Amino acid sequence: MRVLRQIHARLLTHAMPISSISFGLCKIIGFCALSPYGDIDYARKLFSQIQRPNIFSWNSMIRGCSQSQTPSKEPVILFRKMVRRGYPNPNTFTMAFVLKACSIVSALEEGQQVHANVLKSGFGSSPFVETALVNFYAKCEDIVLASKVFDEITDRNLVAWSTMISGYARIGLVNEALGLFRDMQKAGVVPDEVTMVSVISACAASGALDTGKWVHAYINKQLIETDLELSTALVNMYAKCGCIERAKEVFDAMPVKDTKAWSSMIVGLAINGLAEDALEEFFRMEEAKVKPNHVTFIGVLSACAHSGLVSEGRRYWSSMLEFGIVPSMELYGCMVDLLCRASLVEDACTLVETMPISPNPVIWRTLLVGCKKSKNLDKSEVVAQRLLELEPHNAENYILLSNLYASMSQWEKMSQVRKKMKGMGIKAVPGCSSIEVDGLVHEFVMGDWSHPEAMEVREILRDISKRVHAVGHQPGISDVLHNVVDEEKENALCEHSERLAIAYGLLKTKTPMAIRIVKNLRVCGDCHEVTKIISAEYRREIIVRDRVRFHKFVNGSCSYCSRASQLVLLPFKLHKRVLKDCHAID
């Protein structure tokens, strides 16, 4: 910038043709707006002083402002000014840059206006603009319009295919993402590492381990460059599919590991219940002189929370502050969760009350669950009131409060909550579980019998019920907190989505293949106990990933729960770095 200012000064002080000066100033704007060594504020000031900036200057400013560390609608505002002035006419680069800016800030309405301008200007057939439109609609989560634009592209290049696959994966449409990847192969388009990151991410989201393994083998066979981002995606995929040993193999084989890679491994170990391994990996990360970020500590604190390591969690919180990491909302949420799981609800409330930022609904929900666990009705109602003020239309909040009242036999209050939900037209999100069979992800919703093989699933469920009763299991009907008769509660438990998915797994696969389930909600206590029995009776390993953690059921026990209880009881091997400051902290 020092040299550039000298050039700017020379342009203004030496006799030159106006055209040369204008050309030079536009190039200066381009450097200041787009170069990592530039200065966007300098570009703004210079741009405002030019009476008739050319198209290159407009495009540079639109693109440069969209790359800001604090995204805003400034690029859209610039585009509107440009259109109102009527000169110069925008080109395909202009349209693509402003669409990308809209996608960054999820400005759906503004992006649609740009789309209309694209069609009026005759740029609708430009592959560059078409791809930008697909990316814009996908990132704004309007996958229908993204798909429509993609279908209208006559000559789809690699970027277009990758963008659409990424859009499906981001929204969780796994079968569509994988199906499009197969179509891409049939079309003879060779994928690159960017495409494979999207495909792997789709497998991770759905827990589709078999497909993920196939994709990994495909990457190796096609000699696709396994760069840092793709390797990290593979680590994340294997971890989220419950195959933590394979995740560790990929991670250990990486020649270079950045903060994101280390964080993915630590979080993966934590969600798989390997708390000690997660914290040991954090120690290795420190030894490797890689600076942790807030995601790293989310993994560390989650490991402590799921294993009841309260004192260790407090020490890591202090350690995090030493690294200069400002606690984010997610980190506060982890700490509140840690305290609530340890029944330290008062400590959790104190932390929430002293937060420098306003607690979000997730933190209040965590606190409400902690209050329910401690049977603190007065505190629960105060927390619930704050939660409903923030999210008056979220069904989960009302269900938590309703279940709280029901667990304490406060049927009248429970009824009032249910009536309020009904009066406001609020419906609960149903439990949904998915299972991958033969490369296809099948979804099951609680009480929904629309699956083509529903009758066969019913037969398996009847067999499960007989075997479960035969070993003396008594249904935990307290997990169905409606004021209805016990028989109805038991029937409701049998139709929980994870049981439907497990039954389908038993129907379609054989021993020794593991059954892997992904659920959108937490597994209830009765389903947890029943799945233990199923694993013993059918001699099957069953891995369930719910919204919170992994449960690995083998021979009638859940390895996660067993490991967690052992960690609470046994002395924990603290890290050297944490031990160094123990006296000061205590």
Task: Read off the pLDDT of residues 198-252 as tens digits, 9 standing for 90 and up.
Answer: 999 989 988 889 989 999 999 999 888 889 999 999 999 999 999 999 999 999 9
Same-domain check for residues 466 and 528 = yes
- Is the pLDDT higher at 87 or at 425? 425
Note whether 367 and 380 are same-domain residues: yes
Rounded to a whole number of angstroms, the CA Rg of the chain reads: 28
**Is position 546 within any domain?**
yes
Is the predicted pLDDT of residue 493 greater than 80, yes or no? no
Helix/strand/coil percentages in the chain, nearest 5: 65, 5, 30
Distance, CA of 579 to CA of 564 (rounded, Å): 22
pLDDT in tens, 270-309: 998 899 999 999 999 999 999 999 999 999 999 999 888 9
Residues 570, 544: contact at Cβ < 8 Å? no
481 plus 404 within the same structural domain = no
pLDDT of residue 14: 82
- What tokens were used for 124? 């609708």
Domain coverage including residue 497: 432-555
Q: In the predicted model, is pLDDT for residue 584 greater than 70?
A: no
pLDDT, tens digit, 9 for 90 and up, residues 454-467: 999 999 999 999 99
The number of helices, as runs of H, and strands, as runs of E, in the chain is 32, 6
Task: Tell me which DSSP letter residue 52 carries.
Answer: S
SS (H, E, C) 252-289: HHCCCCCHHHHHHHHHHHHHCCCHHHHHHHHHHHHHCC
CATH code: domain of residue 349: 1.25.40.10
Q: Quote the percentage of the chain above a pLDDT of 70.
A: 92
CA-closest candidate to residue 334, choices 348, 319, 350: 348
- pLDDT at position 488, please? 46
The predicted pLDDT at position 537 comes to 95
Using CB atoms within 10 Å of the CB of residue 326, give its burial: 0 to 12 exposed, 13 to 18 middle, 19+ buried: exposed
The pLDDT tens digits for 372-388 are: 888 888 889 999 999 99
- 312 neighbors 572 (Cβ within 8 angstroms): yes
The number of domains in the chain is: 2
Residues 39-43: contacts with CB within 8 Å, 24+ apart?
Answer: 39/1, 40/64, 40/65, 40/68, 42/1
Residue 503 neighbours by CB distance under 10 Å:
25
- pLDDT, averaged across the chain: 87
Tokens of 128: 């560059």
Sheet with 515-519: strands ordered across: 440-445, 432-437, 515-519, 542-545, 550-554, 557-558
Is-contact 576 549, C-beta < 8 A? no
Using pLDDT thresholds of 50, 70 and 90, give the confidence band for residue 563. Answer: low
Q: What's residue 124's pLDDT?
A: 83
CA–CA distances in Å: residue 37 to residues 3, 31, 40, 558 = 11, 8, 10, 54
* Res. 44: pLDDT tops 80: yes
Alpha-carbon span 69 to 339, nearest angstrom: 34
**Per-residue pLDDT, 153:** 93
pLDDT at 375: 84
Q: Domain boundary at 395, 429, 463, which?
A: 429
Tokens in use for 490? 């038991």
405/465 same-domain check? no
- The answer to whether position 232 is within a domain reads no
Q: Is residue 157 part of a domain?
A: no
Q: What is the pLDDT of residue 489?
A: 47
Which of 411, 429, 447 corresponds to the end of one domain?
429
pLDDT at 473 exceeding the cut of 60 = yes
Q: Phi and psi at residue 207, in whole multiples of 5°?
A: 70, 25
Cis before 452? omega within 30? no
Q: Tell whether 440 and 549 lie within a shared domain.
A: yes
For residues 425 and 408, the answer to whether their CB atoms sit within 8 Å is no
In a shared domain, residues 474 and 548 = yes
Whether cis (ω within 30° of 0) applies to the bond prior to 512 is yes
For tokens 């009824």, the residue is 415
- Whether 469 and 496 map to the same domain: the answer is yes
Q: Does the residue 447 lie in any domain?
A: yes
Residue 442 lies in a domain: yes
473 Cβ contact list (under 8 Å, min separation 6)? 529, 530, 533
Is residue 6 included in any domain, yes or no?
A: no
| 417 and 436 in a common domain | no
DSSP class of residue 479? G
pLDDT at residue 407, as a whole number: 83
Domain membership of residue 376 (yes or no) is: yes
Residue ranges of E strands in 417-541: 432-437, 440-445, 515-519
pLDDT of 241: 92
DSSP per residue, 138-152: HHTT-HHHHHHHHHT
pLDDT of 11 higher than 70 = yes
Q: What is the pLDDT of residue 492?
A: 58
Q: 3-class secondary structure for 515-561?
A: EEEEECCCCCHHHHHHHHHHHHHCCCCEEEECCCCEEEEECCEEHHH
Q: CA 298, 300, 306, 310: dihedral to nearest 10 degrees?
A: -110
Name the 3-class secondary structure at 450. Answer: coil
* pLDDT score for 576: 41
Residues 545 and 468 in one domain: yes
Other Cβ atoms less than 10 A from the Cβ of 424: the count is 12
Query: Number of C-alpha atoms within 13 angstroms, CB side, residue 243?
Result: 22
d(CA 451, CA 457): 9
In terms of Cβ atoms closer than 10 Å to its own Cβ (0-12, 13-18, 19+), residue 410 is middle
pLDDT exceeds 80 at position 485: no
Q: Residue 334 pLDDT more than 60?
A: yes
What pLDDT was estimated at residue 477? 52
Do 497 and 533 lie in one domain? The reply is yes
- Write the CA distances from 417 to 110, 116, 373, 400, 401, integer angstroms: 39, 46, 19, 10, 8
Number of Cβ atoms within 10 Å of the Cβ of 4: 17
Given a cut of 50, whether residue 573 has pLDDT beyond it is no
Q: Considering the domain boundaries, does residue 495 fall inside one?
A: yes
Amino acid type, 278 = A
Task: Give the per-residue pLDDT at 491.
Answer: 56
